[in-house]
A and B are shown apart, each in its own frame.
Chain A
Amino acid sequence: MPEGSEVLATAPDIPRTTRVRTTRAERLRDLRAARELLRQLVGRDLRIQHRGTVLGNLWSLITPVLTVAVYTFVFTVIMPSSPVHAGVDVPFAIYLFTGLTVWNLLQNAVLSGTGSVVGAGYLLSKVYFRREILPLTSVLSALVTFCWELGVALVAVTVFVGLPDWRVVWLPLVVVVVVLLAFGLSLILSTAAVFFRDVQHFIGIALQIGFWGSPVIYSLALLDNRPTLHRLMEFNPMTGVLDSVRNVLLAHEDPEWALLGYGAAVGVVLVLVGLMVYRRNERLFAEMI
């Protein structure tokens, strides 16, 4: 045994990373366990969502259908809006809904992702697991909800605009970009929320600003004669995503490759930075919450 007082004097102020040796077999076992837990946690989120309701999972379908119905009513009867010209004329309600669907994926994932670590204190302090699965659970749960909305969007597009052409195959690519962005943001924000609870309040407002700063309710073409604003808008990684979704679903055009590529790059950087931030701090989660 080392002499206590002597070692105490050199004990570090700032926690150092400890060397926990793990073998390949142990890492594989951890990964397998993490995958199982992830699956169970996503399943739990989805089950709880509609537990206790009469219609149950039907709500996943009813909500987007009613949303489309309300938009259509509002924008054709109450305040008739001219169709958006995207190759073909698209009713404004449908234009809005396709964009909103994609935006909701980001918003739901980031909102629940931000609180995912703080909300899992009961697990963090009792068992070990790969901590990354907490924000990932939020993103995947949001993705499942998104799939329902996307299904409704596809039907609505087919009915009001026409059957999308083969370019619909690019859709998953667009979704991957959103998932990358959402996961990266969730990693960073969930870590931040552990140390500053303010983040959870701040994120609601930030998402609102993001919503109006992204071409969800308007089209980027609206800014065509305001080059500065247009340029500024292109820095928003969601711009390419939203434009591409409309291109693919409504206009039968290719995605905006340059903008989408930029969005993907931002997404990858966010995930990498997020993983770094998350892993550097995850060992403090159990004692901070």
Chain B
Amino acid sequence: MGPSSRREFLLAAGRLAAGVGLVSVVGVEPARATPAAMEEAIRKVVGSSRVNPGRVKIDLPPLSENGNAVPLAISVDSPMTEADHVRAIHVFTEKNPQPNVVSFHLGPRAGRASVATRIRLADTQTVTAISELSDGSFWSASADVVVTLAACAEDP
């Protein structure tokens, strides 16, 4: 490979990397590769809107011994006023039989955008929470959890 062709190759590779970066920014967040079913379920909720990373905080244990009941708490950074509040929080998983986990519908009367529940996890996977704000924007966060005893594997 001559010096000129190597330069061309590097330039092409750079352009390709930039292109990929651009696509992943424009594409569906979270940026990691999520199984198609979860992406479809998210699309059903957000429509054609862009999902921004941030403002959402997921509290999930990094290691769970029992997938039948994993404590999950979600809070969203929002003043929760009439003009600016969280309308809904949706939770999705990528490896459960169904991608949907739960949808919470809140309003300014919640005072604080903070909810908690217990979920089932069929496998070690990523849990994604998407928050819908009153201005129509969507914000998301993801958390990885390692599950040693999967839900559904045996009787709870």
A is bound by B: no
